Amino acid sequence: MKDQTPRSQAPPRVENRRARHDYSIEERYEAGLVLEGWEVKALRAGRIQIRDSYAIVKNGAIWLIGSQIAPLPTVSTHRTVDPERTRKLLLHQREIDTLRGAVERRGLTLVPLRLYWKHGRAKLELGLARGKKLHDKRRSERERDWARQKARLLRHERPSS
């Protein structure tokens, strides 16, 4: 079934670009989110921030900590909402067990990479990541600069005829 949202009004996809800079991503997982009604409306309006968030394994479930969903001004006045509440992530038990082992034994971190809509449901892409040291960040920046410069040189080089 196709997403009911028209393409011209599709909500923006939220990305955590900082994660690629600070971590080397080893594996990626897609997880669903347990949300309240006002949070879904705020997500459709693009009012989420996942830059400083991370996920933990606790009591056999994965929890998203540190994400902020700013409520819309039209949220009812009789409810008190917590924009930074801990949200449960939905994964298969096999994936949860794999992630628990990687986090506890290998010392990896669960980092949210992007949030998007799939078939009308909010999905979060989690990355199983290892933190980069300063020299690793410099190396990846150097490689990125060289790739950009190489593409620029190849683009301006004219074929000999």
pLDDT tens digits along 147-161: 898 888 888 876 665
Residue 147 and residue 143: Cα distance in Å, rounded? 6
Residue 104 and residue 81: Cα distance in Å, rounded? 33
121 in any annotated domain: yes
Mean pLDDT for the stretch of residues 74-84: 76
- Residue carrying the six token digits 């949860």: 96
Residue-number span of the structural domain to which 22 is assigned: 13-132
* Amino acid letter, residue 33: L
Number of alpha carbons in the 13 Å side-chain half-sphere of residue 43: 22
Q: Structure tokens of 101? A: 């082992």
Q: Please report, for residues 5, 26, 49, 50, 57, the alpha-carbon distance to residue 22 in angstroms, rounded to integers and kept in the order given.
A: 34, 13, 17, 14, 21
Does residue 7 carry a pLDDT above 70? no
137 in any annotated domain: no
Does the pTM surpass 0.75? The reply is no
First to last CA, the chain: 52
Among 13-22, 44-53, 152-161, name the most confident range: 44-53
Sign of dihedral through CA atoms 73, 13, 130, 21? negative
Q: Which helix (DSSP H) or strand (DSSP E) does residue 56 occupy?
A: strand 54-58
Q: Give the closest residue to 127 by CA, choosing from 49, 23, 34, 12.
A: 23
Q: Give the closest residue to 64 by CA, choosing from 96, 48, 43, 86.
A: 86
Q: What is the CATH number of the domain that holds 93?
A: 2.40.280.10
Quick: pLDDT tens for 110-156.
Answer: 999 989 888 888 899 999 988 877 777 788 888 888 889 888 888 88
Q: Based on the structure, what is the number of domains in the chain?
A: 1
| Residues with Cβ within 8 Å of residue 121, at least 6 apart in sequence | 32
